[in-house]
Amino acid sequence: ANEKKAEEVASLDKDIVVQKDVAVPMAEKPLLPDTDLKYNKQALEKDADNLKMQENAAHQANLQQLCRICGVSFKTDHYKRSYPVHGPVDSETQGLLRKKEKRATSWPDLIAKVFKIDVRGDIDMIHPTRFCHNCWSIIHRKFSNAPCEVYFPRNNTMEWESHSPNCTVCFTAQRGIKRKNQSSNLLLSKRLKMIAEHAQKTKSVKKPQAQMKNKNLMKKIANCKKTHLSTKLLAVDYPADFIKSISCQVCEHILADPVETTCSHLFCRTCILKCLKVMGSYCPSCRYPCFPTDLESPVKSFLNILNSLAIRCPVKECDEEVLLGKYCHHLSIHKEVKRKEIYTHINKGGRPRQHLLSLTRRAQKHRLRELKLQVKAFAEKEEGGDIKAVCLTLFLLALRARNEHRQADELEAIMQGKGSGLHPAVCLAIRVNTFLSCSQYHKMYRTVKAITGRQIFQPLHALRTAEKALLPGYHPFEWKPPLKNVSTNTEVGIIDGLSGLPYSVDDYPVDTIAKRFRYDAALVSALMDMEEDILEGMKAKDLDDYLNGPFTVVVKESCDGMGDVSEKHGSGPTVPEKAVRFSFTLMTIAVAHSNENVRIFEETKPNSELCCKPVCLMLADESDHETLTAILSPLIAEREAMKNSVLLLEMGGILRTFRFIFRGTGYDEKLVREVEGLEASGSTYICTLCDATRLEASQNLVLHSITRSHAENLERYEVWRSNPYHESVDELRDRVKGVSAKPFIETVPSIDALHCDIGNAAEFYKIFQFEIGEVYKNPDTSKEERKRWQSTLDKHLRKKMNLKPIMRMNGNFARKLMTKETVEAVCELIKCEERHEALRELMDLYLKMKPVWRSSCPAKECPELLCQYSFNSQRFAELLSTKFKYRYEGKITNYFHKTLAHVPEIIERDGSIGAWASEGNESGNKLFRRF
């Protein structure tokens, strides 16, 4: 016990002041005898002052024996250790604070932080100037993690008052200090210590011995004591949990080349590889299955923290603090110095040594023999015998050191098993986005491979394999009930459009090439492409992921003919130089939930070619009714069968049910008339939505309602075919309102916004010509004059609006033509101011009406114009029948009639016209032309 005390005294700092036990007795001055009545009053006052000064001096001396913080006398400490309240921090505390990265340098700061006492305003007459070792220990305990057996002898900090007749400081000093309270506190401390020790013992007993044994075994397997750094080398005293997080779970050293398992535990790479090899493929921490291929580097932010840790260099006579990330470089300097001291190159003379790369393979082996043996020994010791990985890593580091990062990146890709080649799906995307044909891509592939010597692009067969996953026929599905006259086989990709047609000698020869997908397989492929959108939509609407439906999918169907698609250098069969494309777009998806349909997906760009999925492509003329019906009939049969069945499709790991609603809206007027069995667009019955004749429509421009439907057209065709009332041709034609063929595709009575815009622009183009020629004055003009007006208009538009003349009106020309600037340019060619105003008003009204049928959602995008539409259309009709009577007396164009009469009713029914247009299919036509 005496030796321990001696050591404790020796370790104390030099700044500690050991005070002598100086007793300051209360000075007692003998009182003057009361016999002398004439004693001077001043002398009495002087004596009283002297007495007060002596008492204050004694009080101050007593204060010097007490602790400023807790008020305990220094006499209770055997070594009488005390510390100045206002002095600098001693070196031992300074070292502790530096370890903890604290910056306090004086005692007042620390006392304020630990005890919440401000000693800066202390007065020597009231407050002690020193504090005891017990309070010093409490300060140390505050900033140290090590357990200390210290206690604070009071419930609250000491409150000091100036000297008074009942002064507790002087009273305690005279009577002596009672030890009753102290003994009880010491007893409490002892009891707490015993409880803590007991808890520690029970905890250590509970710890499984098998786990300890296993840990020791793993440390022996790792055997990395000489190569990995101990956590004791850390320059800063970090919290235990933090140290645990930066140390290996096997060897408990600081992580060296850290790797993370799938269960998020961290290990040194060599330690975990050795453990996996010896103990089996599971995580040493949690026994979760783990394989060497699963190991990955931790996140960069963690590595940055790890590399920024300061450690003390373990080399003798080097007390430098180095960042862990720069430790290897620092250690290499030590090794370099040591190597230079040991090794000096001896030039033996003779011929100069040849460069390593210029030697033969045998000579290279001979020269590098020692290095090879060293690398082999290192690899066996550290990397489980993987010499290749060691050499590749050395090469990689050498390249990085010389800033040859491009070559290093290629090497790194090879090391990670990626290689320098592109993925087949990426190659496919490149081929499609750059509009390369298969032969063009194959040429590029061969050229790159021949020049670089590496297979960067993948061969065509790999692209075709990757393409199969994107095309219909890849995902399995089922229909309940099974589709009528449709195979249950789901692995159906591109099929011949003519397949399934019965041939006989007398049949009409089908002169076409057609390719298509099966309609149901194409729908499934489109749904699987949108799997993420559907699941995210359900999450956005707070619906459970496991909802299995039924989902209701609304499909927009589009079909359009294309002209001039002849091959430039083709040698195939003789086919028409025209094509027809049939496609669909998934517009909305809703799911039944709580007795209501919740919309979980809505196509934001319904007129984009990206969401327009092609189903059928044929090299045929859309006017060839027989070919069109022959190719599209199987498709329509599949469509009709799907209306009465439910699709069962696994999406997100759950079998879900889908129902489909088909809306044929993406057809121009020519094709609508073709598939619905109506007469051509020059017919007296000008509308595909109502039964109005051209004369009726010109007399009543606005007030019409939608009356036609697919079912009614079928009924009228039966009447036309059978003529049950035995009427004449004209009477029968009037009865069936222009239905003269069997309708074979069901369309929704609507307006195609794109073709409406094109048709109206063509009519305005005519009006501009007639206004230039002043037809309102002279209705009878020759063809030559009309051609001259057109030529004048074309030249002026080219000059003013940069509009080049075209043979046939298209969407881009229509957009540029229908502007106020165009009207102003045309007005320059017209002399009459009254006609200027009429043209300007007509264009202004048209531009106010156009957004209503062109926008995807007019109620959101242009609500004011939607409300004003009826008024604007009425005024537009008035202008046509008055100012432009010369053109519209007894006649009107098909699209002007639809624009003025049917737009509000369609928007009230569908919510939009623009969203249901054929523009997406038209954009797809452009892509088809490129290919």
User: Is the pLDDT at 809 greater than 80, yes or no?
Assistant: yes
CB contact at 8 A, 653 and 908: no
Q: What is the percentage of the chain residues whose pLDDT exceeds 70?
A: 86
- Residue 109: band (very low, low, confident or very high) from pLDDT cuts 50, 70, 90: confident
CB contact at 8 A, 467 and 428: yes
Instruction: Give the per-residue pLDDT at 32.
Output: 47
The mean of the pLDDT values for the chain is 85
Q: How far is CA 460 from the centre of its chain?
A: 32
Residue pLDDT, tens place only, 235-253? 888 898 999 999 998 898 9
Half-sphere exposure of 732 (CA within 13 A, CB side): 15
- Residue 883: band (very low, low, confident or very high) from pLDDT cuts 50, 70, 90: very high
Three-state SS string over 717-729 comes to HHHHHHCCCCCCH
Q: How far is CA 282 from the centre of its chain?
A: 33
How far apart CA 872 and CA 844 sit, in angstroms, is 10
User: Is the pLDDT at 461 greater than 50, yes or no?
Assistant: yes
- Is the bond into 550 cis (omega within 30 degrees of 0)? yes
User: Is the pLDDT at 9 greater than 80, yes or no?
Assistant: no
How far apart CA 581 and CA 616 sit, in angstroms, is 6
Q: What is the mean pLDDT of residues 285-311?
A: 86
How far apart CA 143 and CA 304 sit, in angstroms, is 27
Neighbours of 779 (CB within 10 A): 10
The residue written with tokens 């002279």 in the block is: 778
CB contact at 8 A, 803 and 821: no
Spell out the alpha helix ranges (H) of 723-832.
729-736, 753-772, 783-801, 811-817, 820-827
Helix (H, G, I), strand (E, B) or coil at 167: coil
Each residue of 465-490: b (16+ CB within 10 Å) or e? ebbeeeebbbbebebeeebeebeeeb
Helix (H, G, I), strand (E, B) or coil at 646: strand
- Is the bond into 481 cis (omega within 30 degrees of 0)? yes
Nearest Cα residue to 678 out of 605, 611, 625, 616: 625
Instruction: Give the per-residue pLDDT at 501.
Output: 62
For the record, the structure tokens of 776 come out as 């309102």
Neighbours of 829 (CB within 10 A): 18
- Residue 16: band (very low, low, confident or very high) from pLDDT cuts 50, 70, 90: very low
- Residue 507: band (very low, low, confident or very high) from pLDDT cuts 50, 70, 90: low
User: Is the pLDDT at 23 greater than 70, yes or no?
Assistant: no
| Amino acid letter for position 491 | E
Instruction: Give the per-residue pLDDT at 779.
Output: 83
Number of H helices, E strands in the chain: 37, 16
For the record, the structure tokens of 792 come out as 């004048």
Element spanning 304, H or E? helix 300-307
User: Is the pLDDT at 308 greater than 70, yes or no?
Assistant: yes
Distances, alpha carbon 80 to alpha carbons 72, 151, 383, in Å: 12, 17, 60
The residue written with tokens 């600098």 in the block is: 88
User: Is the pLDDT at 135 greater than 60, yes or no?
Assistant: yes
The least confident of 150-159, 192-201, 270-279, 476-485 is 192-201
How far apart CA 442 and CA 458 sit, in angstroms, is 9
Nearest Cα residue to 559 out of 512, 495, 622: 622
- Residues whose CB is less than 8 angstroms from the CB of residue 298 and which lie 6 or more positions away in sequence, other chains included: 258, 259, 260, 266
Instruction: Give the per-residue pLDDT at 802.
Output: 92
User: Is the pLDDT at 278 greater than 90, yes or no?
Assistant: no
Helix axis angle for 729-736 and 710-722, nearest 10°, is 170
CB contact at 8 A, 885 and 803: no
Instruction: Give the per-residue pLDDT at 233.
Output: 87
- Residues whose CB is less than 8 angstroms from the CB of residue 325 and which lie 6 or more positions away in sequence, other chains included: 306, 307, 308
How far apart CA 686 and CA 670 sit, in angstroms, is 11
Instruction: Give the per-residue pLDDT at 845.
Output: 96
Read off the pTM: 0.57
How far apart CA 467 and CA 216 sit, in angstroms, is 54
User: Is the pLDDT at 860 greater than 90, yes or no?
Assistant: yes
Sign of the Cα torsion 708, 710, 716, 720 reads positive
Q: Which residue has the higher pLDDT, 700 or 181?
A: 700
Q: Which residue has the higher pLDDT, 211 or 518?
A: 518
Instruction: Give the per-residue pLDDT at 19.
Output: 42
Nearest Cα residue to 517 out of 482, 468, 484: 468
Q: Which residue has the higher pLDDT, 150 or 875?
A: 875
How far apart CA 291 and CA 758 sit, in angstroms, is 65
Residue pLDDT, tens place only, 318-376? 878 888 888 888 888 888 777 666 554 555 555 677 888 888 888 888 889 999 999 99
CB contact at 8 A, 829 and 773: no
Nearest Cα residue to 795 out of 784, 785, 805: 805
CB contact at 8 A, 283 and 296: no
How far apart CA 715 and CA 708 sit, in angstroms, is 11
How far apart CA 82 and CA 69 sit, in angstroms, is 12
Nearest Cα residue to 838 out of 869, 882, 779: 882
In angstroms, the first-to-last Cα distance of the chain is 98
How far apart CA 452 and CA 466 sit, in angstroms, is 24
User: Is the pLDDT at 771 greater than 70, yes or no?
Assistant: yes
Instruction: Give the per-residue pLDDT at 154.
Output: 64
Element spanning 588, H or E? strand 578-593
Each residue of 174-197: b (16+ CB within 10 Å) or e? eeeeeeeeeeeeeeeeeeeeeeee
Residue pLDDT, tens place only, 845-859? 999 999 999 999 999
Instruction: Give the per-residue pLDDT at 572.
Output: 64
Instruction: Give the per-residue pLDDT at 602.
Output: 95
The least confident of 135-149, 539-553, 891-905 is 135-149
> In terms of C-beta density within 10 A (0-12 exposed, 13-18 middle, 19 or more buried), how is residue 441 classed?
buried
Distances, alpha carbon 64 to alpha carbons 11, 117, 153, 271, 869, in Å: 25, 18, 19, 61, 98
CB contact at 8 A, 491 and 473: yes
81 backbone dihedrals φ, ψ, rounded to 5°: -85, 135
